[in-house]
Amino acid sequence: MKSSIPSILLLAVHVSIVCAAWGQGEQDFPTFTTLPLPHTQPFDHLLSFDYYHQRCPQLEQIIHKSLQQWIAKDRTIAASLLRLHFHDCFVTGCDASILLNHEGSERRAEESKTLRGFQVIDDIKAEVEKSCPATVSCTDILTAATRDATVLLGGPYWRVPYGRKDSRTSDQKDAETLPTGHESVTTLLELFQSKGLNLVDLVVLSGTYCPNSNNPFSCLLLDELTPDGAIFVCPGAHTIGRTSCSAIQQRVYQGLNGTSGMPNPPIDDRYLDYLQRKCRCASEEYVDLDATTPTTFDSQFYANLERKMGLLSSDQSLYSDSRTSPIVNALIQTPSLFRHQFAVSMVRLANIQVLSGPHEAGEIRTNCNFVNSYQ
Ligand code: HEM
């Protein structure tokens, strides 16, 4: 329990910041100097909410309109944008390096082969270039599009600070550091800490469960699933979207095809049977990360974890790891904290190693697929 105390304190800091910030409406969005950001500079020196107010006042309107059209055609694209943004920021920082499309780039890496949403960003960029040529970076567009996609699926709103620049390089080897879903909580935590994020961010962004609460503001009572005791759950990013069979192959076929042991953490028998049949023929097949409501930002994903239906072993491990419980309990004690904390953690994610300011190495790409010198 000793190790959980700093986490709770950390959460308490977040709680007070978040409550103060959201309690009085959008104008009072937190000032980010107060958020603990180990290994990253406070980004009020780097980014600002009004960065495009003069430069491109219609920016957010263009992004929102375009996103609405895309999501009306294909709701699954919202989850793909969220993941694209995560991959961008976790590999060499939020710099749109994932969008560069050349031999040997991150986008061509094995880890990126199931990423989607590139066309959405290209479309928005083309629209933005018509109104504000050579002004708005691709990584700022991806960041804002991710926020809008979350909102359009029923998730929280947050204000996006702007001013990031795009990288001039991208190397597929850098993508090898991305988590695959087989990692332990300790490994994931080390990875998140190396990016300036913390256990709260890990729990909130990827999701976990909340044992017992009298105050389930943003959580779901699963009494129909747990007759012996009520369990509440809170959502994270994996409440939407899907995984390819190839990503869960090892977990789903553990104990079969000459391998020993059983899936660890365990999977519900009937669900395992379903997955084995679903993924038998083609590793290109997809399975929803949230078996019930894959395109809605809600809590159903955690019901799955409670029933041992976590597709990724890393998600299922978060559910059972003792380090997550105190944070989750603290989240539960404060109404609406989860949605707010998700927003705070998303802003922190979008602050990883940003390139900004006149002396930085980045540029404003005019086509997100190529650095300017190649166009
Ligand atoms: C904690 C570490 C994480 C691990 C191990 C992980 C792993 C994965 C894996 C294996 C998939 C399926 C990919 C495939 O089959 O191609 C996936 C999908 C997804 N991940 Fe994560 N992820 C993590 C964190 C995050 C974070 C921080 C976010 C966003 C904030 C995120 C958002 C998503 C979304 C939305 C999808 C579904 C994408 C789609 O439907 O196109 N993940 N993740």
Any idea where the domains of the chain sit in the sequence?
Answer: 29-178+345-374, 185-341
What is the per-residue pLDDT for 75?
Answer: 85
- Residue 209 β-bridge partners: 233
Grouping H, G, I as helix, E, B as strand and the rest as coil, residue 77 is helix
Active site residues per annotation: 87
CATH architecture designation of domain 185-341: Orthogonal Bundle (1.10)
Confirm or reject: Cβ of 212 under 6 Å from ligand 1.
Answer: no
Confirm or reject: Cβ of 366 under 6 Å from ligand 1.
Answer: no
Q: Residue 90 CA: which ligand 1 atom is closest?
A: 27
What is the per-residue pLDDT for 374?
Answer: 64
Q: Which CATH class is domain 29-178+345-374?
A: mainly alpha
Calculate how far, in angstroms, residue 358's C-alpha sits from the geometric centre of ligand 1.
Answer: 33
Q: Residue 114 CA: which ligand 1 atom is closest?
A: 16
* Residues of the chain under the 70 pLDDT cut: 1-45, 207-239, 282-283, 291-294, 296-306, 315, 318-319, 324-337, 359-360, 374-375
Grouping H, G, I as helix, E, B as strand and the rest as coil, residue 72 is helix
Grouping H, G, I as helix, E, B as strand and the rest as coil, residue 116 is coil
Q: Whose CA is nearest to atom 41 of ligand 1?
A: 80
Q: Whose CA is nearest to atom 24 of ligand 1?
A: 206
> Would you say 156 and 218 are in contact if contact means Cβ atoms under 8 Å apart?
no
Confirm or reject: Cβ of 116 under 6 Å from ligand 1.
Answer: yes
Q: Give residue 57's identity as a one-letter amino acid code.
A: P
Q: CB count, 10 Å around CB of 6?
A: 11
Return d(Cα 118, Cα 98) in angstroms, integer.
9
210's enclosing H/E stretch is strand 208-210
Calculate how far, in angstroms, residue 238's C-alpha sits from the geometric centre of ligand 1.
Answer: 6
What is the per-residue pLDDT for 287?
Answer: 84
What is the per-residue pLDDT for 327?
Answer: 66
Calculate how far, in angstroms, residue 130's C-alpha sits from the geometric centre of ligand 1.
Answer: 33
Could you give the angle at the alpha carbon of 267 between the alpha carbons of 263 and 270, nearest 5°?
Answer: 125
- How distant, in Å, are the alpha carbons of 58, 162, 201, 300, 338 from that of 236? 30, 24, 10, 10, 9
If DSSP states are collapsed to H, E and C, what string results for 313-361? HHHHHHHHCCCHHHHHHHHHHCCCHHHHHHHHHHHHHCCCCCCCCCCCC
Q: Residue 202 CA: which ligand 1 atom is closest?
A: 1
Q: What is the end-to-end Cα distance of the chain in Å, rounded?
A: 56
Confirm or reject: Cβ of 250 under 6 Å from ligand 1.
Answer: no
What is the per-residue pLDDT for 104?
Answer: 97
What is the per-residue pLDDT for 19?
Answer: 31
